[in-house]
Structure 1
Amino acid sequence: MSVEIRQLRYFITVAEELNFARAAKRLAMAQPPLSQAIRNLETELGVQLFDRTRRPIALTRAGRALLAEALPIIDQLAYVVEATRRAGTSKGGHLEIGAVSAAQLGILPKLLRVFHTAYPDVQIGIDDITSSHQLAAIREGRIDIGFLHSPAYDPVLETRLVHREGLSLVLPTTHRLSSLSSVEISELGSETFIMFDRAESPALYDQITGLCRAAGFRPRIRQHVNRFTAIISLVAVGVGVAVVPASIERMATSGVVVPSIDNPLAFCEIHACWRASETSTEVRNLLSLIEPA
C-alpha cells in the first residue's frame, strides 16, 4: 500500500467541499484528474470514501474515518515543514538553556534581552541546573548550552569565560558585622557556614573554601543546602553565614544583609558550555552576542 500525501490533500479538500468541481477549483486543477486521484485512493484502500449517488456527495463511514485521521497528519506535516524552514533561516527554532542561579540573575537577563530582540521567533527555555548536572545535560542533548561556574575539561565540549563577578557574604541582620558594607573573610573564622554540596559546583565550592584557608581557617560547615533561596532563609533565622556570588543579593529577603568581601580574589566565574559538534544556528547566534569577560 502506498498512499501519498498529495492524495490525502485531495481527499480532504473534496471532503470539505463535498463537490468535485469546487474542490478542483480550490486545488487549481481540472476536475477529471481530481476525480481519478480519489478513485485511485479508494482502490488503494479497498473502500469507497464518497457516496456519489447523493447530491451533494457525502462521506461514507470509511470516508469519515479517513478524514478524522488525515487532518492531524496534514496539520503536523505543515508544522514540520514550517519549523524546518524557520530553523534553517534563523527565524524560529528553540534554544534550551541550563544555568546556575548566578547566571540567571547576572549575565543572562541582558544577554537574552538582546537575543530576543534579534531573533524574536526563537523559543527560549531556561532550566535551573547546577554546574555538574549541566555537563551531563549538554552531552546528552537535553540542553543546548549551559552557563556554569567552571570550564569543562572534556573533548566533546567547548567552553568560554563569559562573566566574572565578586563574592558576597550573607549575614543575619543581627550579626555583629551586619552594619558593614564590606567584610574581610578573616573576620569569619569563628562562624559556622551554610554551603552547597561540592559535587554540585566544585569550582565555586573550592573558590570559597580556598578563600577561607588563605585567611587562616577552615570553614566549619554546619549544613549543606543546594538552593540559594534556602541558604538565605537559613541565614535569616541564624543557622549560620554563607558566601555567595554577588548577584545572589537580588534574592535577599528581610532578615539578611549582603556585604561584599574585601579581597581581590573573592570572585567567581561564569562559563558558557556547549557541544563541540554543535551545529544549532540558535546556539551560534547566542554565542555571537556574548562580549568577552
Structure 2
Amino acid sequence: MDLQQIKYFLALADELHFWKTAEKVHITQSALSRQIQALESDLGIQLFERNKRNVKLTPAGQFLKEKWTRELTEINYIHQFARQIHLGENGTIRIAHPDSISGSLIPDIVSRISQTFPKLQIELVQVLYENQQEFLSNYKLDLVITRDKNEAKGIRFEKIYTDNLALVVPDAHRFRTAKDLSKEQLANQKFILPVKDEGSSYNSLIQQMFESLDIEPDVYLHSEFGSTIIALVRKGFGIAILPDSYIDHEIPGVRFIRLPFKTDLYLSWRVDDNNPVLANILKLIRGI
C-alpha cells in the first residue's frame, strides 16, 4: 500500500465509475483496477462491491474514505508547509535589535516581512552586547541588527544604515540648538551614558566624540537601555548622548539636539547559515 494507491481509491470512491476515474487520474482503466485490487489485497479488505452496472463502497470502504480524506488533506498541508519552509516563506525568524530603532526601522522591517511573507513568524528581542555573538553562534538568534561591528570568526556583518548622534536634554533645559553647545557648557553637565562594553565600536564612537570636543564628561549613571536613559533625562538626572532615531519614539518631556557625529547600523549573521528564510529576510532589510 502506498500514497498513490490511496489517492486512486479516493478518486474512485468519489466517482464510483472505473472509466471516468481512470480518465480523471490519467491512467488506463485496467491499471486502475489493478491498483485497487492490490490495495484490497494488502489490507485484506473488500473496498468496493462491483458488478457490470454499478460500483459502490462497502461499509469498510466508506469508513476508509472518510478517514483517508481527512488524513490526505493533512498530508497535503504538511507538504505545502515544507515547501514554504524550503522556499523561505514559512517558519520563524529571530531578530535582535537595539532599542533605538524600535520606533523607526523596526516597524518598516516588520511591515516588509509581513507583506512579503505573511506566514512567517517574527520574534523580536533585545540582547545585551556581550551576548550577541554567543546567541548567534548557538542559534538562539538568526539575525542581529546592531551599532557594533561583529568581526568574530563565523560571523558576517555589513552596514545597512547611518544616523546621527544627538544630545538628549529635558524640555526645560537651556540647551536649544547645537550652537548652544560649547566646551565649557558641556563640561558642567552631568551625563547619563550607555554601559561601557569592552570592544563595543558604538561606545568607542561616543568616547571619540568627547575626545574631539576635548571634554572629560561627568558621568554618574550608566544604563544598557536607551529608553531608561531617556526616562532619567526627563526626570532631570542629567543629559545623554543617544542615536537620533529615538526621535521616532515621540517621547514627551525631552528634546533631541542633533550632533555632527554619525553612528552606523550593521546586520550580523552566521556565515554558514543556509536557511532560505534568513536569505529572504536579508534581501528585504538590505533594501531599506
TM-score, normalised with respect to structure 1: 0.71
Structure 1 residues 239 and 153: alpha-carbon distance in aligned structure 2, compared to 1, 3 A threshold: same
For residues 163 and 241 of structure 1, the distance between their equivalents in structure 2, rounded to whole angstroms, comes to 25
Which aligned pairs between 1:266-277 and structure 2 lie closer than 5 A? 266-277=261-272
Q: Which residue of 2 aligns with 1:175?
A: 173
Q: Does 1:129 pair with 2:131?
A: no
Q: Deviations over 1:195-254 (max 9, x none)?
A: 44445993323433454466432442335252x334333322334322111111111322
Structure 1 residues 225 and 101: alpha-carbon distance in aligned structure 2, compared to 1, 3 A threshold: closer
For residues 32 and 182 of structure 2, the distance between their equivalents in structure 1, rounded to whole angstroms, comes to 82
Which aligned pairs between 1:101-180 and structure 2 lie closer than 5 A? 101-102=99-100, 120=116, 125=122, 127-130=124-127, 131-177=129-175, 179-180=176-177
DSSP-derived class of the 2:9 partner: helix
Structure 2: which 5+ runs fail to align?
Answer: none
DSSP-derived class of the 1:258 partner: strand
Equivalent of residue 22 in structure 2, options 17, 21, 24: 24
Structure 1 residues 225 and 112: alpha-carbon distance in aligned structure 2, compared to 1, 3 A threshold: closer
| C-alpha contact 1:193 1:241 (8 A) present in aligned 2 | yes
Cα deviation, residue 94, structure 1: 7.1
TM-score, normalised with respect to structure 2: 0.72
For residues 199 and 181 of structure 1, the distance between their equivalents in structure 2, rounded to whole angstroms, comes to 28
Q: Does 1:34 pair with 2:28?
A: no
Q: Which residue of 1 aligns with 2:73?
A: 71
Structure 1 residues 289 and 138: alpha-carbon distance in aligned structure 2, compared to 1, 3 A threshold: same
| C-alpha contact 1:102 1:248 (8 A) present in aligned 2 | yes
Q: Which residue of 1 aligns with 2:45?
A: 48
Number of aligned residues: 273
Question: Percent identity between the aligned chains?
Answer: 16
Paired AA for residue 257 in structure 2? P
Cα deviation, residue 258, structure 1: 0.5
Which aligned pairs between 1:150-229 and structure 2 lie closer than 5 A? 150-177=148-175, 179-181=176-178, 184=181, 186=183, 187-199=185-197, 202-212=200-210, 215-222=214-221, 224-226=223-225, 228-229=226-227
User: Of the two, which has the highest radius of gyration?
Assistant: 2
Cα deviation, residue 95, structure 1: 8.6
Structure 1: which 5+ runs fail to align?
Answer: none
Structure 1 residues 106 and 65: alpha-carbon distance in aligned structure 2, compared to 1, 3 A threshold: closer
Cα deviation, residue 156, structure 1: 0.7
Cα deviation, residue 192, structure 1: 3.9
For residues 105 and 49 of structure 1, the distance between their equivalents in structure 2, rounded to whole angstroms, comes to 65
RMSD of the TM alignment (CA)?
Answer: 4.0
Q: Which residue of 1 aligns with 2:57?
A: 57
For residues 24 and 161 of structure 1, the distance between their equivalents in structure 2, rounded to whole angstroms, comes to 59
| C-alpha contact 1:152 1:273 (8 A) present in aligned 2 | yes
| C-alpha contact 1:18 1:57 (8 A) present in aligned 2 | no
